[in-house]
Structure 1
Amino acid sequence: MYASLLMLNLGPGMRLAGEKLADQFAAILKTLKGFK
């Protein structure tokens, strides 16, 4: 079993940009073998 944790520190007012980054990483991770 593998686990992955990604933390980003963003400045004030950067929530929308952070959510877009999280969506991009989630899409990439879902393509990896063994990801659930």
Structure 2
Amino acid sequence: IEKSYGSMNAYLEQEIELTEDDIIQLKELLLE
């Protein structure tokens, strides 16, 4: 799970311009 999560995180950082708050919200959703 950590590996795929890291890949998704890298994808989000590269492909989508998000604020830190947006990224935090996405991480919280993924952890639920």
TM-score band w.r.t. shorter chain:
0.3 to 0.5
Q: Which has the larger radius of gyration?
A: 1
TM-score by length of 1: 0.42
Bigger share in helix: 2
TM-score by length of 2: 0.45
